[in-house]
Structure 1
Amino acid sequence: MAENKASADENGASAYTEGVPCWVDAQLSDVEAGKRFYGELFGWTFEGGEGTEGGEGGEWTWARLAGEPVAGLVRKTDGRMPTVWTVYFHTPDAAALGRRIREGGGQLVTTPHPVADLGSTALAADPQGAVFGLWQPGRHPGFGRRHEPGSFGWAELYTPDTEAANGFYGDLFHDALFGPGADPDVGRAPVSGVFPAEMPAHFLVHFDVADCEAALGTVARLGGRVQVPPFETSYGGVAVVTDGQGASFALLQR
């Protein structure tokens, strides 16, 4: 971990700068199918969670890589909910950040609420409708591993107005994005550069892989599909895929 993003305390927890991506989860209709898909794709192992996640009270599961937490799989309790990966940004005070989001023209989809003793969470949307999560840590600080194959590597905001997005997130998370020594794990790009122009604004979670082509083959074999074939970015080679239930994410080869 870069020193400006997180530093280990005496208990091994991490203190992230506000606005650094610190967790991801997937809302799925079939968590067992998700475990089979992502377990084979990324080498994850799984164990049951505790409390609730996402404010819906659904069953959820830790995904681990080499024993460390890297993601959550959450059972949807309402079929109308989207099947989607969500990125969560660290905050020391979710309620205060929620107020700033509303003042900046965004909205809270769910108000901050506790997840057992793990921390507090909320869902928010920016002024253009892109949904993201807030995480105020308790016992769970966030990723145990990242920036290595099988773990979180990047989050890209695809939006119709990158200038407006820079203003909104720059006000919320200035130090994480633009402060001295900042090395952010999140970027902004126009929707039309990769997706159809009519696609809504959204965050796309990226997972690092050692070999993108091999990973694409595994995705296809497991019942997923390629949404956007491999293309080059400033942060590596990327391909956008969906799992067997339709949740989109990206494969990132550095």
Structure 2
Amino acid sequence: MAALPEGTPCWADAMFTDLEGAKAFYGDVLGWTFGESSSEYGNYTQAYSDGKAVAAIVPPMPGGQTQSAWCLYLASPDAAATAERIRGNGGEVVMGPMQVGDFGTMVIARDPGGVVFGVWQAGIHQGFEKQGVPGAYSWAEIVTREPGSADGFFPAVFPYGVKKFDAEHFDYRMFLVGGRPVLGRMAAGDFLPPEAPSYVSVYFAVDDTDAAVARLTARGGTVYHGPQDSPFGRFAAVGDQQGAAFGLIDLGRTVGEQPPTVDA
């Protein structure tokens, strides 16, 4: 599989203090199975859907952050050059560039509005082995209290085209690679509670959002919004039992017309 074009979401992972609890939770909610933990790489553990790699989980590094969160990685042909553009456009490089064996090179960064994301220069690990089907990554959006910062930063760091929804009361933009939307940007508004940081919401596809939400709440997860029908699918904004926020979406259940877009 060839490396994905620059700026395209290519991988997602999350840190959990209770790795076995995370395995049980996501195994039940999304049907994932898990490979062997790699002690050489901090017990990094890949998740699989029908035998295809779809994400990974990892325990926190000693002395590191302990709040569970999903991290989305954006593809780069040169992680060091991307890191320089991040710094040059007001962002912060939190970690890296760091080579991870033969797998690739990673960067963890933060945009000027505090949104944490990853950069991945692929080696033998190219990223998602499937997308857009139940059990796999389907979409992501930057949920931020500083939309203007995100709008200036991300297209300066990655070769994005930008379109926005032509809707007076809905501030939403899409970043495009090769004319195809790959990442959303949503102004947080009242969506985020005051104590919650701006973040990237990673959506995983399911075949029935309501049933997945029922499994999630039975496992101690939290529903922040929804389930709600939309022109893009029936979705819910949720959190797992360790506090990591993410989204669920049934891409096959669409209601209404998608709003028109214009160049931003």
Q: TM-score w.r.t. structure 2 length?
A: 0.84
Q: State the shift of 1:233 in Å.
A: 5.0
Contact 1:160 1:192 in 2 (8 A): yes
Of residues 144, 158, 162, the one that matches 2:147 is 162
Instruction: Structure 1 unaligned segments of length 5 or more: list them.
Output: 1-12
Of residues 220, 223, 227, the one that matches 1:226 is 223
Corresponding residue of 1:183 = 181
Q: TM-score w.r.t. structure 1 length?
A: 0.87
Residue identity opposite 2:139 in structure 1: W
Q: State the shift of 1:76 in Å.
A: 1.4
The yes-or-no answer on 1:69 pairing with 2:53 is: yes
Structure 1 residues 223 and 196 mapped into 2: Cα distance closer, same or farther (>3 Å)?
A: closer
The yes-or-no answer on 1:195 pairing with 2:192 is: yes
The yes-or-no answer on 1:35 pairing with 2:7 is: no
Corresponding residue of 1:143 = 128
Contact 2:91 2:109 in 1 (8 A): yes
Corresponding residue of 1:209 = 206
The yes-or-no answer on 1:19 pairing with 2:2 is: no
Question: Comparing 111-120 with 121-130, which one deviates more in the overlay?
Answer: 111-120
Q: Tell me how far apart the structure 1 counterparts of residues 27 and 122 of structure 2 sit (CA, whole Å).
A: 26
Contact 2:16 2:66 in 1 (8 A): no
Q: Tell me how far apart the structure 2 counterparts of residues 231 and 75 of structure 1 sit (CA, whole Å).
A: 32
Instruction: Structure 2 unaligned segments of length 5 or more: list them.
Output: 162-174, 252-264
Residue identity opposite 1:205 in structure 2: V
Structure 1 residues 180 and 27 mapped into 2: Cα distance closer, same or farther (>3 Å)?
A: closer
Q: What CA RMSD, in Å, does the superposition of the two structures yield over aligned residues? A: 1.9
Q: Secondary structure at the match of 2:220?
A: coil
Q: Secondary structure at the match of 2:212?
A: helix
Question: Comparing 197-206 with 130-139, which one deviates more in the overlay?
Answer: 197-206
The yes-or-no answer on 1:237 pairing with 2:234 is: yes
Q: Tell me how far apart the structure 2 counterparts of residues 200 and 234 of structure 1 sit (CA, whole Å).
A: 27
Q: How many residues align?
A: 237
Contact 1:128 1:201 in 2 (8 A): yes
Contact 1:170 1:178 in 2 (8 A): no
Percent identity between the two aligned chains: 38
Q: State the shift of 1:230 in Å.
A: 2.3
Structure 1 residues 200 and 244 mapped into 2: Cα distance closer, same or farther (>3 Å)?
A: closer
Correspondences of 1:109-128 after superposition (within 5 Å): 109-128=94-113
Contact 1:131 1:203 in 2 (8 A): yes
Contact 1:46 1:61 in 2 (8 A): yes
Q: Secondary structure at the match of 1:174?
A: coil
